[in-house]
Amino acid sequence: MGKRHQKRVVVALGGNAITRPGDDGSVATDYINLHTSLDGILRLIKRGYHVTLTHGNGPQVGNQMIRVEMARGMAPDLPLDVVVADLQGGLGYMIERVLRNKLHAADLRQPVCGLLTLVEVSLDDPALSNPTKFVGPFFPEEEVEKLTSERGWLMKEDKGRGWRRVVASPDPIAVVETAEIRALMDLGILMIVTGGGGIPVARLEDGRLRGVEAVVDKDLASAVLARDTDAEELFILTGVDQVALHFGTPEEEKIDSMTTTQARAYLDQGHFPPGSMGPKIDAACRFVESGGHRALITDIATLEDALDGKTGTWILPAEP
């Protein structure tokens, strides 16, 4: 069954592959979106790639935290690492089921396995003392003081839309199950892992793992996974077909390719905001700087066109 001759690629599915802007967020709608989105994965397999899938969970985390809020006083609270684990299992199941059905219909004999994945972070990470990641529902300003005092939450205003809880987003160090994932990849199995950035855990001095109230960026975790499983390429699939300078302005300039040096210079100049394209550029650069051949940023709907050189943005190694 082994397929070591295949080109290994980690494909990071963005949130719009599952729940698109304006959707009702229902499971039925998510299945419709996955049915379309995962066609691109079949095309990669047909092109000879050995695919490992990761995925986001942003909209789903928000919905789950609304459920937790509505059940407060009637059901036990859920810590954030358990919420991420729940969603990783649920979304992984949905992706695997749709993918297996598509593979069956296409008569492709590709084994698939979803795996709950822990991602190690450091308790010394400065991000843990400076939470910046918005999660969960919106609250009116008059409720902020009560939420802060009763629940110990840190609350910030989210661009005039209301007040939300913010949590830490520490850097991923390693995927805990890397050895198991590599062993299954060596057997030719398509893995679905690191969902939602992985379940954040910290390793204590005695070697035990402890859950952390945080969320890990999905693209940064995917870059770590790709690095440690010797993937040759990393595909970060998002809501735009190409990266652009001066995005959304009359001076917008789309980029076909750039070196990690160029990408980091643009990042420092503020072209790629922290809440949107910034982490994707950073993740692509980290992967290539750690030895990856190249990274691609594009929309899942334009993935095949990007592989044919018609669109997409490639991040390439810095020139010697």
- 68 lies in the same domain as 158: no
Domain boundary among 113, 139, 167: 167
Q: Looking at this protein, which amino acid is placed at residue 155? A: M
The alpha carbon dihedral of 178, 183, 187, 189 has a sign of negative
Contact in structure between 153 and 165 (CB atoms under 8 Å): yes
Contact in structure between 222 and 280 (CB atoms under 8 Å): no
Q: Is the pLDDT of residue 320 over 60?
A: yes
- 147 lies in the same domain as 242: no
pTM of the model: 0.91
- 283 lies in the same domain as 302: yes
Domain boundary among 111, 139, 167: 167
Alpha-carbon span 175 to 231, nearest angstrom: 14
CA atoms within 13 A on the CB side of 163: 14
Q: Is the pLDDT of residue 204 over 60?
A: yes
260-277 tens-digit pLDDT: 999 999 999 999 988 789
- 79 lies in the same domain as 144: no
The rounded percent of the chain whose pLDDT value lies above 90 is 69
Q: Is the pLDDT of residue 128 over 90?
A: yes
Residue 144 vs residue 4, higher pLDDT: 144
The answer as to whether 126 is a domain residue is: no
- 155 lies in the same domain as 191: no
The rounded percent of the chain whose pLDDT value lies above 70 is 98
- 86 lies in the same domain as 38: yes
Alpha-carbon span 269 to 249, nearest angstrom: 16
Instruction: Report the chain's mean pLDDT, rounded to a whole number.
Output: 91
Q: How far is CA 223 from the centre of its chain?
A: 10
For the chain, the domain total comes to 2
3-class DSSP state of 148: helix
Contacts of 265 (CB under 8 A, 6+ apart): none
The answer as to whether 60 is a domain residue is: yes
Question: What are the tokens at 62?
Answer: 């928000």
- 180 lies in the same domain as 163: no
Alpha-carbon span 67 to 65, nearest angstrom: 5
3-class DSSP state of 307: helix
Span 125-139, mean pLDDT? Answer: 85
Span 203-213, mean pLDDT? Answer: 95
Catalytic residues, by residue number, are 15-16, 133, 218, 280
- 143 lies in the same domain as 264: no
- 247 lies in the same domain as 271: yes
- 108 lies in the same domain as 140: no
Contact in structure between 198 and 25 (CB atoms under 8 Å): no
Question: What are the tokens at 195?
Answer: 């969902």
Residue 157 vs residue 306, higher pLDDT: 306
- Given this model, what pLDDT does residue 157 score? 87
3-class DSSP state of 109: coil
Span 138-157, mean pLDDT? Answer: 86
Give the model's confidence band at 1: pLDDT under 50 very low, under 70 low, under 90 confident, else very high: very low
The answer as to whether 144 is a domain residue is: yes
Helix axes 218-228, 278-289, angle to 10 degrees: 10
Question: What are the tokens at 18?
Answer: 């599952």
- 93 lies in the same domain as 211: yes
- Given this model, what pLDDT does residue 3 score? 47
Q: Looking at this protein, which amino acid is placed at residue 139? A: F
Span 286-300, mean pLDDT? Answer: 96
In 71-177, alpha helices (H): 80-105, 144-151
- Kindly give the pairing relationship between strand 49-55 and strand 118-121: unpaired
Alpha-carbon span 186 to 109, nearest angstrom: 16
3-class DSSP state of 286: helix
- 145 lies in the same domain as 229: no
3-class DSSP state of 2: coil
Stated as kind and residue range, the H or E segment containing 118 is strand 118-121
- DSSP state string for 190-222: EEE--GGG-EEEEE-TTS-EEE-SB---HHHHH
78-101 tens-digit pLDDT: 888 999 999 999 999 999 999 999
> Which residue is it, tokens 């199995």?
189
Residue 55 maps to which CATH number? 3.40.1160.10
> Which residue is it, tokens 């490992």?
52
Q: Is the pLDDT of residue 311 over 80?
A: yes
Q: Is the pLDDT of residue 4 over 80?
A: no
- Given this model, what pLDDT does residue 5 score? 57
Q: Residue 183 belongs to what domain range?
A: 7-121+172-316
- Given this model, what pLDDT does residue 118 score? 98
Question: What are the tokens at 207?
Answer: 């070697």
29-84 tens-digit pLDDT: 999 999 999 999 999 999 999 999 999 887 787 778 778 878 888 998 888 899 99
Span 226-236, mean pLDDT? Answer: 97
The answer as to whether 30 is a domain residue is: yes
